[in-house]
Amino acid sequence: KSNGLIQVDPSELHFSGFKLEKDYVKSVKLINISSRVLNIHIIPTQTKHFRTNYAKKCRLIPGLAYTVKVKFCPHEWTRVSDCIRVHCEDDENLLIPVHAYPATAHVHIPTRVDLPAAPLGQRYVHIIPLSCRSPADLEFEVHLIEPHEAFSIHPLTGVIPANGQSKITITFRPCRYETCQVTVRLLVSQFNTKSYLCTVTGSLIIILFSLSELIGLIFAFTFVLFQIMCALPISFTTVKF
């Protein structure tokens, strides 16, 4: 990251996988890449979670750098963010993000779910468990990339408890003779993490009868029809020739 005068290395700081009550220190360099002497102003982190220290000189000679150290001592399992601001002479100011979070948690979710065929208009419910090994709660969001009217999914937002499990409920109700598909994207509230994709497929089952079942249905229908005909009043008309 650079504004033409100052180059920042690295461009942001991450404290990942920390332990409670333990001190962590990371450094960032502000390098003068211009051809002139600079006078810059550094605004340190503002929250109680971080402490920023640096030895500022009167002016920064070309090719030299300030080393800014950030100390982090966590007292609870939480995710925190802050930043370091660098104000330069007559040029764009720089912002250096600082993030701290527990160990990166991998959420376990299948990449594909094939639902059993369901009869027309009937409902089938499938549960997708969401689990992760993280000492902190994880918020999640569900987005439908390819929605389909035969599927309904809830909840669309929720929380996976620390070292626990949550779930997503998928309801499939086929409404026409076709194979249905929906793609689900799962996002979790964690830095430097990818989204998770799951494709759900369902189809309609066509109910076919065997020959014996078909004969039984015809016999039952004929019997009912015969009973109805017997219950109807019958009148006879005499025809004279």
Residue ranges in 140-181 assigned as alpha helix (H): none
Domain ranges, ordered by start, for the chain: 6-101, 112-203
Beta-carbon contacts of 69 under 8 Å, excluding residues fewer than 6 positions away, are 25, 26, 27, 52, 53, 54
Contacts of 216 (CB under 8 A, 6+ apart): none
DSSP β-ladder status, 196-203 and 112-114? parallel
Token pair of 23 as six digits: 């001190």
pTM: 0.57
Position 210 scores a pLDDT of 52
Q: Going residue by residue through the chain (241 aa), what tens digit of pLDDT does each one get?
A: 788 888 999 999 988 878 888 899 999 999 988 888 888 888 999 989 899 998 877 788 888 888 999 999 988 888 888 999 998 876 678 899 998 887 666 778 889 999 888 888 888 999 999 887 777 788 899 998 888 899 999 999 998 887 788 999 999 998 888 888 999 999 887 766 778 899 999 888 766 555 565 577 677 778 777 777 777 665 545 545 4
Q: How many CA atoms lie within 13 A of 153 on its CB side?
A: 25
pLDDT above 90 covers what percent of the chain? 27
Topology agreement, domain 6-101 and domain 112-203: yes
Spatial separation of the C-alpha atoms in residues 202 and 174, rounded to whole Å: 8
pLDDT of 55 reads 82
Burial of 44 (C-beta count, 10 Å sphere; 0-12/13-18/19+): middle
214: helix, strand or coil: helix
Residue 179, both tokens? 């194979």
Q: Which CATH class is domain 6-101?
A: mainly beta
Domain range 112-203, CATH class: mainly beta
Residue the block writes with tokens 């709660």: 137
